[in-house]
Amino acid sequence: MTALLETRGLTAFYGDFQALFGVDIRVEASETIAIIGANGAGKTTLMRAISGVLKSAADTITCRGEAIGALTAPDILSRGVAMVPEGRRLFPSLTVEENLLVGAYGKRRGVWTLDSVYTLFPILKERRNNPATALSGGQQQMVAIGRALMANPDVLLCDEISLGLAPVVVRDIYAAFPRIRASGASIVIVEQDIGQALKVASRVYCMMEGRITLSGRPDELSRENIHTAYFGAV
């Protein structure tokens, strides 16, 4: 069956430096997958390649069977792949509501509107007229997720959304995920916290040095397997 999103033999370079070596991942409709791996494993590079920030060979990334690897980031977004970037990258001079509205500039329409994002994260409605940067880190992360949802994506790429946040805040953010999936979107999370990844994902890919070293359902993976795939054999 054709996957919603698939990479096949995906490579990526920063100048002469090769960061990805033939990465194969598959995302089906309405599932959550997690990409885990140590610092520098290539997780962010994989997200950048899929979202079109880094150009790839056309047929190494497909969306519903259509080659999208060579498309620009706005074209990939219009195909339904949206990214919540590492570090959130909100517009500091805009309010919460204006940041959310920026996400809706494309043509895709669906369940995600200002109202439904405010229902998902009620605190954002309270703070809607505040500058986005006046919010706490967790609330800013909610804005970043809400902004991506406003594009009504079929695939939501989330790069390290729990980085630097208190566990209780991380829990609140992940509590929104079942509702995002229920809206029909698949979710790809990049997570350094392996426990968190295993809890929310139906399938996990582990990366090391630009390659997928392990993949499977959380219940199929042992701690030893994950440790070896994460750090290499000792």
Answer yes or no whether residue 42 interacts with ligand ATP by CB under 6 A.
Answer: yes
Answer yes or no whether residue 14 interacts with ligand ATP by CB under 6 A.
Answer: yes
Hey, which residues does 8 pair with through a beta bridge?
none
Answer yes or no whether residue 40 interacts with ligand ATP by CB under 6 A.
Answer: yes
Contact indicator for 4, 63 with CB cutoff of 8 Å: yes
CA angle 84, 32, 115 (to 5 degrees): 55
Answer yes or no whether residue 139 interacts with ligand ATP by CB under 6 A.
Answer: no
Instruction: Indicate the burial class of 209 (C-beta count within 10 angstroms; 0-12, 13-18, 19 or more).
Output: middle
Answer yes or no whether residue 37 interacts with ligand ATP by CB under 6 A.
Answer: yes
Q: Spell out, one character per residue from 92 to 131, where the chain touches ligand ATP: x when CB under 6 A holds, - when not.
A: ----------------------------------------
Tell me whether residue 109 or residue 195 sits nearer to ligand ATP (CB atom). 195
Tell me whether residue 37 or residue 153 sits nearer to ligand ATP (CB atom). 37
Tell me whether residue 152 or residue 162 sits nearer to ligand ATP (CB atom). 162
Of these, 7, 45, 51, 213, which contacts ligand ATP (CB under 6 A)? 45
Q: How many CB atoms lie within 10 A of CB 220?
A: 11
Q: Which stretch binds ligand ATP (CB under 6 A): 34-42, 49-57, 147-155, 212-220?
A: 34-42
Contact indicator for 173, 136 with CB cutoff of 8 Å: no
Tokens 């990049």 found at: 190
Q: Which stretch binds ligand ATP (CB under 6 A): 35-43, 87-95, 196-204, 223-231?
A: 35-43
Beta strands in the chain (DSSP E): 5-14, 17-27, 32-36, 61-63, 66-67, 81-84, 155-159, 186-190, 203-208, 211-216
Q: Which stretch binds ligand ATP (CB under 6 A): 2-10, 39-47, 108-116, 170-178?
A: 39-47
Of these, 10, 19, 36, 144, which contacts ligand ATP (CB under 6 A)? 19
Query: What is the sign, positive or negative, of the torsion defined by CA atoms of 207, 208, 211, 212?
Result: negative
Contact indicator for 188, 30 with CB cutoff of 8 Å: no
Answer yes or no whether residue 147 interacts with ligand ATP by CB under 6 A.
Answer: no
Residues that bind ligand ATP (CB under 6 A): 14, 17, 19, 37, 39-45
